[in-house]
Amino acid sequence: MKPILEIKTFIYNIPIEISWGVVMSCEAKHECGVAAVSLKDSDKALFYLYKILLNLQNRGQLSAGVTTFNPQRPQLINTYRNIGTVNEVFRTSNKDKSMDIFRRYSGTKGIGHVRYATCGANDRSYAQPFERHHGRKWKWYSFCFNGNLANYSELKEELIKKKDYHMTLDNDTEVIMHYISKELIGETKPSMSGVFSNLAKKFDGSYNIAFINGYGDIIVTRDPIGNRPLVYSIEDGNLLVASESNALVNCGAHNFKSLEPGKMIEVNNGNVEIKQFAKPQKTAHCMFEWVYFANVGSVIDDKSVYITRTNLGKELAKLETEQITKDHIVVPVPDTAKAAGDAMAYELGIPSQEGLIRNRFVGRTFIEGVSRQDKVANKYTAIKEILKGKKILLVDDSVVRGTTTKQLVQYLKTVGGAKEVHVRVSCPAIIGPCFYGIDMSSVGELLVPAYLGKDQAAEAVNEKVCAKIAKDLGADSVIYQTIPGLVRSIGLPENKLCMACLNGEYPTECGKKLYCQALKNFNSGKKEDKRVYEVC
């Protein structure tokens, strides 16, 4: 079996060899990913974009897209995007159709995106990159971004009421597009560092942006709080950028760096420069990247995701209250909890066994079972030979809404024949929404807040609360990771991390306001049919 795209040489050696084979689906996770490529002496940028996006597939399976630059064609920058996984969008199951896409969109430079919806609808018009045509080359541009604008509704209102704009889409990507266009108004091409510096004064939230214009200039920015990861590799004047390091490593770029918060990469006339476009603010790296979102092989801000998850398992072992017997086994929820589960089992001196097998080839589907058990069975297979009669320490990376956890506990007992199921969560209890790129924007949709009442404090998640949660989940017990244990596991100072969903301490002003509104909605019993940042 050969891979779909095989790069045989080191990353900046051209030509690239292509081979076609079996298409495998990736498991879905809830984020977005961005990519950028600039090649000095080659028009194979799209091949690298494809490879990078394929390795960022864990960050979004809803849609994928690219914009490439080619000075040899009338359409200087050209955008291709669609709904589906990367391989579905690039039609890799049909060699002729796929190769036609690679020929039509060949170029020396480009940007790319994989999407999971945290704002807006789930159709092709929301797929990124967004391209804006114009007769002047510096005003003809395309961009994509990873994150979320916490002040989206305020920015939207300003455009509609004060500037008489018409919004065709209901998302922050369109808002960013209009604000970029406003910065490009004039008779001369502006400084791009000045453009994004001005935008940073208006935007509140998380926003890693990849931008390309009709000159082939590329800008890649990381927001001033550094909420989402962004890495790059520069070698011999060639540039590769991705949301995660594993995407660069799998393209052969082993010498990569994290872009510092408030800095941008600019490609102009073939020159690659790192510039500061915004004053550094309170650094707030999203802890969820290490806990769940990122590929386990990635390194984020010099901290290994795999090592972090291993450390989380060791910290969980310290909290264990069960009197361990020969009947106890650890069962990690595949796949993101495996490193934590294995490490916890090792520390406790008991087996870590794959009692749950992920059905990796199910992929996205509109066909679901009616019962909860059917839905879980579509996703997992319980190995009765491992589970029957055992006392299971079920290790999960996080519990957000609790629905899947409840289904899993029931499934392990009724189908797997487990004697007991004790839920162990490698992430501390989530008590607050996220306004920076994770699709959980209201308090009411979360599991834990309902058990805390109006006292929405991290320290309120005590043994008594956990006992109530366990009862409702059908579990024999529940233990969450501690916030100090999480901080130790990542290895960064607490004041460098965004843990707002765990402790209610939001790193931006608009985030603080949104949390107050979300709590007000929750305490008043108001049901929300839209995300908080879309209506505030």
Are the beta carbons of 150 and 533 closer than 8 angstroms? yes
Are the beta carbons of 312 and 481 closer than 8 angstroms? yes
Going 335 to 337 to 342 to 348, the CA torsion angle's sign is negative
| Residue 193 one-letter amino acid | S
- Distance between CA atoms of residues 440 and 514, nearest Å: 13
Active site residue 498: no
CA distances from 13 to 36, 54, 99 (A): 18, 20, 21
Task: Check 26, 32, 501, 536 and give the catalytic one.
Answer: 32
- Distance between CA atoms of residues 432 and 445, nearest Å: 10
Name the strands in the sheet holding 328-332, side by side, starting at the edge strand that comes first in the sequence.
328-332, 391-396, 420-425, 477-480
Are the beta carbons of 340 and 363 closer than 8 angstroms? no
- Distance between CA atoms of residues 463 and 378, nearest Å: 33
Token duo for residue 109: 């430079």
Closest Cα partner for 58 from 92, 22, 26, 24? 26
- Residues with Cβ within 8 Å of 249's Cβ and at least 6 positions away in sequence, in order, are 256, 297
Give the other-Cβ count within 10 Å of 221's Cβ. 29
φ, ψ of residue 253 to 5 degrees: the values are -95, 95
Are the beta carbons of 341 and 330 closer than 8 angstroms? yes
- Distance between CA atoms of residues 308 and 306, nearest Å: 5
- Distance between CA atoms of residues 424 and 349, nearest Å: 16
**Residues with active-site annotation:** 32
